[in-house]
Chain A
Amino acid sequence: MIVAQRKPFEEIKKSLAPYENIVVAGCGTCVAVCLAGGKKEVGLLASQLRMSFGLDKKNVKVSEVTLERQCDREFLETVKNEVEQAEAVLSMACGAGIQFLAEAYPQRPVYPGVNTTFIGVAEAAGLWTERCRACGECLLAETGGICPRTICSKGLNNGPCGGMMEGKCEVDPERSCAWVLIYDRLSQEDRLAAMEAVRQPTDYTRQTQPGKVTHAAYLRRYHADSK
């Protein structure tokens, strides 16, 4: 899932200063799971904003709405009334959702309520860690299911750097070196040959911004001449 962290309250409040009628829009998918921007977090933030504006003797209307997903047009349409009745929107979705919401309502200023951090997993209650950099050419088959481009701080392709110490990473001694983990895993699976091959430089054409993926069905529907 996409992991995000709520922005500091003061930053959020400052960005909303020009408005007297705002709607806080949550997203019910990834950011809800990582406790950054789901329905519950929307409620907490909206209450905090109301109290804070109240203490400032400022009359600001703060409404709440949470969509199933902000990265999908059909869900964005469901909040048309709430968005159009407000002067500005504070989106608690990931960066993709915030942008798609802004795109769907070009007449309304949209502000981010979270910082989007990475694609990761829920390692424990309240602990999320990164697992994927979305590089576009997955090499997990050859690295024992451990991604060096993500888990190695330097994203190295061919083995540990000289900073590895007692199996730990140069950058964070609390974290295992990705290449030591990969070596151990491949060794356990009797597949060390996969690590012996020299991996060529990463193909960054796979990461050209902005990325685009088209399904064959889409092409058939909208581009009849496509194969």
Chain B
Amino acid sequence: MPTPSEFRQALASKEFILTAELDPPKGADLSVVQEKISALKGKVQGVVVSDNHSARMRMAPLGLCRALLDQGLEPILTLTGRDRNRLALQSDLLAAASLGIQNVLAVTGDHTSWGDHPQAKPVYDLDSLQLLGALNALNLGQDLSGNPLEGAAPLFTVGAVVPLTANPLQPVIMKFRKKAAQGVDFFMSHPLFDLNNAGPFFEQTREIKTPLLATVCLLKWEQVAGYLPGNIPGLFLPEGMLEQFKSWGEGAYESKAWEFARKLIEAIKKDGRFRGVHLMLQGEEIRVGELV
């Protein structure tokens, strides 16, 4: 049986966890992201490598995950059901395991219409819950059709996402419970800006003790200035927050936004309901040291 991943061990420890997101390059040359990799090394316990983020075609996360391992970073492979059917998803997972990649974040994936290949067929053969089912089946040494796997079974640390400030919240909570019951080792929230908004979610899900990481997202000025509910999938800016961000003005925005993120991370640490923070720096990973 494989050794549990370092990230699984971190989840089992008492330390506050930090992860960061990293997009693979739009190209075959990993040197493009080397500076970012170096900046993240030693700063975070896991690097979540995106899978054709926002439906924009990039290098498959498998390649960057392996490069991270080679450089002593702990990769968390994002896997979306949007681009591959159940055969491809499972075989990619087996390839990942054989390369030592053991942490997987299973997501539905933004619709192809958002991306740079809007004419592509959106697959969604497995939704995120069914993807969790596939991961757990593989961990038990069998595939989704019940066929046994040859050799030692993989040991994936399985992650899922929850939009805990969504409106309406009830259908989201129902799906969250279904995911937790399916077998999840850690959850990651959608970007959070105000901890008060997480209250109703926590009040209704007290029975679920799965570690949950709060996502802190550094929005760019253009995203704030042009924000409309629904124009960036999964991003919900509460009204007061949007006004506050806009009031800083373009000139002061960047420094204020980083200061805001620092304070938010501290607040999440003190809050006690989250197991850690996941950083979405949107290309600014090189500056991770300013936050942690």
Footprint of B on A, CB under 8 Å?
Answer: 153-168, 170-171, 173, 179-180, 182-183, 187, 192, 195-196, 198-202, 204
Contacts and interface: CB of A to CB of B under 8 A. Distances in A.
Given A159-B171, A180-B171, A198 B178 contact: yes
B155 interface: no
Interface of B: 82, 86, 107-108, 110-111, 113-114, 122, 124-130, 133, 144, 161-163, 166-168, 170-172, 174-175, 177-178, 181-182, 190, 229-230, 233-234, 236
24 contacts: A153-B113, A156-B127, A157-B130, A158-B128, A159-B172, A159-B175, A162-B108, A162-B190, A162-B233, A163-B111, A163-B233, A163-B234, A164-B163, A164-B171, A165-B166, A165-B167, A167-B168, A170-B111, A170-B234, A180-B171, A192-B174, A198-B178, A201-B144, A204-B125
Given A154-B127, A201-B126, A159 B113 contact: no
A158 B178 contact: yes
Contacts, number: 107
Contacts of B110: 163, 170
A192 B170 CA distance: 11
A162 B113 CA distance: 15
Contacts of A173: 229-230
B229 A166 contact: yes
Contacts of B229: 165-166, 173
Give chain A's interface secondary structure class. loop
A187 B169 CA distance: 14
Contacts of A187: 170
Contacts of B129: 157-159, 198-199
A200 B130 contact: yes
A160 B172 contact: yes
Nearest to A153: B111
A154 B111 contact: yes
Among all A-B residue pairs, the 3 with the closest Cβ atoms: A159-B175, A183-B171, A163-B233
B263 to A, nearest CB: 25
